[in-house]
Amino acid sequence: MKIQKVVDRSLVVYLIVGVLNFIVCTALMFLLYNLANVSDHVAPVVNYGLGSLIWFISCKYWIFPGHKTSMQMLLRFTVEVLLCYLLTYYLAAPFLTQLALKSEGVRRFFDFGGADGIEANCKMSIGALLYALINYFGQRYYVFSDRFDKSKGSA
């Protein structure tokens, strides 16, 4: 795969929309967890649920425009979001959190919610960052791929 095929207009728009979406939804997740005492399992679901809705609309109309919405696309989108969430939040983030929290500097960075929230804040941050990265490739090459869009002449 050539780098020019990955680094194109869609990546630039994805990054702009993604940074804004990430800031809003991740801030909401941390507010829910650290101020409203919502669990560290429910707060990320709100983050990813709202973020996914924003993503679908953004991908459909701005990032990967021109694809007809179908039940198959919605199913691919749902499967991709769930797999990204499970992979990043329940597999990768716990492992990487344990590694990261061995550093006192990292522990201090994530104590903004109090000493009891350090691990959860770190895990939610790592999960959100990994999710954003993996989600781009899933959206681009699975959900909004021309190979699945029958209206574009592909099977």
The answer to whether residue 65 sits within a structural domain is yes
**CA 27 from chain center: how many Å?**
14
Quote the DSSP letter at residue 7. S
7 torsion bin: left (phi>0), alpha (psi -120 to 50), beta (else): beta
Query: In this structure, is residue 75 part of a structural domain?
Result: yes
Residue 35 lies in a domain: yes
Report yes or no on 155 lying in a domain: no
In a domain, residue 136? The reply is yes
Range of the domain at 102: 3-150
pLDDT in tens, the chain (155 residues): 566 666 677 778 878 888 898 899 999 999 999 999 999 989 999 998 898 888 888 878 887 787 777 888 889 999 999 999 999 999 999 999 999 999 999 999 999 878 889 999 999 999 989 988 898 888 888 888 877 666 555 44
Whether 83 is in a domain gets the answer yes
Q: Is residue 56 part of a domain?
A: yes
Domains in the chain, number: 1
Asked whether residue 17 is domain-assigned, the answer is yes
pTM of structure: 0.78
Contact (Cβ atoms closer than 8 angstroms) between residue 100 and residue 126? yes
Q: Rounded to the nearest 10 degrees, what angle do helices 9-34 and 118-138 cross at? A: 150
Specify burial of residue 144 (Cβ count, 10 A radius: 0-12, 13-18, 19+).
buried
